Structure 1
Amino acid sequence: MCALIMLWMSSGCGYHLADGEDSIDPAIQKVFVDTFTNRTSEAGIENLFRSAFMDQVLRGGRFQLAGSREEADALIRGDIRSLSTSHLSYGKTDLSVEERLTVVMDVTFEERTSKRILWQVRNFNYYNDYTVAGEQTNVMEIKRKNALVKLSGDAAERAYSLILSGF
């Protein structure tokens, strides 16, 4: 009886998708990643995130990346609402040692012809931390840019996973 209870308790919530299973209609094969809007003061961030989403569609393997809106079955659209930098920790000189980049955006996955929304999230936020301790200004900018690239890739990967799962 104890073994049965332990097995039941370790089984988790019980809901998951089987390997290779997703909640998207199999007829949707080609996806176009539309131009993202940028409501931040960070120039070019919309291109960075759009590229990250395109890379994720290619890596994900579930869809083909469409070359234009017209040949796509579905669209991914993004609206980058904010990008903020906050200090996480400070050194002995009261200068920041570690910072966090946080993006907030709306992401929509919709059927192209019917414009039916298949998945959408508002205020989707993701962050990436990076160190800045004792760095010169140019090195700090390079680290920030690298953190932004990582942030865009990680956010695209998470959103793609949520699109497929329907959550």
Structure 2
Amino acid sequence: MGRSRWGILAVSLLVCAVSCGYRFAGDGENLDPRLRTVAVPVFENLTAEPGIEAIFTGALRQEFLMKSRLRVVPESQADAVFIGRIQRLSTTDVAHRKAQDTVLTRLTVTLDVRCIERESGTILWQDRALTYFEDYLQNPESAVAFQNRQDALKRAARETAARIFDRFMSRF
């Protein structure tokens, strides 16, 4: 094939790829256009871990603030309200150096989250058992081990918030 044919073929493939209609998921195109505002009240914490409700609530609010056309407002002003419950938080040792020396711990969190239309109470989206895990390194220094666990909690919160946001916006 000649050089000009390769060029034409390359341009043709590029045009086809660009015009295929692909777009990023979760853009909210399928949402009811009447939805303009969303509220994310503080999640209920059913675990023994104090303060994680603020971490998970804040992460979901941040997703909407950064990625959505929906404005985050107080619950009384919202078209849609996310109601979240942190049902379970557990840790499991997953890697050991010696029988009694844990190197890696897995933190697992399970959430019950739903989004309702505030006025009617209609459920717009829900996941009754959204589960995510995040591994973190143990450390003989208790302050370092604690910080590693806190960092894992924050990563888990960001990831679950991203999943909730993407699934809600794509109506999945």
| TM-score of Structure 1 vs Structure 2, range by shorter chain | 0.7 to 0.9
- State the percentage of identical aligned residues: 33
Q: Hey, what does 2:36 align to over in structure 1?
A: 29
Confirm whether residue 118 of structure 1 aligns to residue 121 of structure 2. no
Structure whose CA Rg is larger = 2
1:100-111 to 2 correspondences below 5 Å: 100-111=106-117
Question: Structure 2: any 5+ residue segments left out of the alignment?
Answer: 1-20
User: Aligned Cα RMSD in Å?
Assistant: 1.7
Distance 1:85 1:144 in 2: 10
Please give the secondary structure, in 2, of the residue aligned with 1:91: strand
TM-score normalised by structure 2 residue count: 0.81
Question: Structure 1: any 5+ residue segments left out of the alignment?
Answer: 1-15
Distance 2:22 2:94 in 1: 36
Deviations 1:73-123 (A, max 9, x none): 100110110000111110135311111111111000111111110001111
Detail structure 1 runs of 4+ shifted over 3 Å in the superposition.
16-22
1:155 is aligned, of 157, 160, 164, to 160
Q: Hey, what does 1:139 align to over in structure 2?
A: 144
Confirm whether residue 47 of structure 1 aligns to residue 54 of structure 2. yes
Structure 2 CA distance for partners of 1:107 and 1:17, relative to 1, 3 Å: farther
- Count of residue pairs brought into register by the alignment: 150
Please give the secondary structure, in 2, of the residue aligned with 1:70: helix
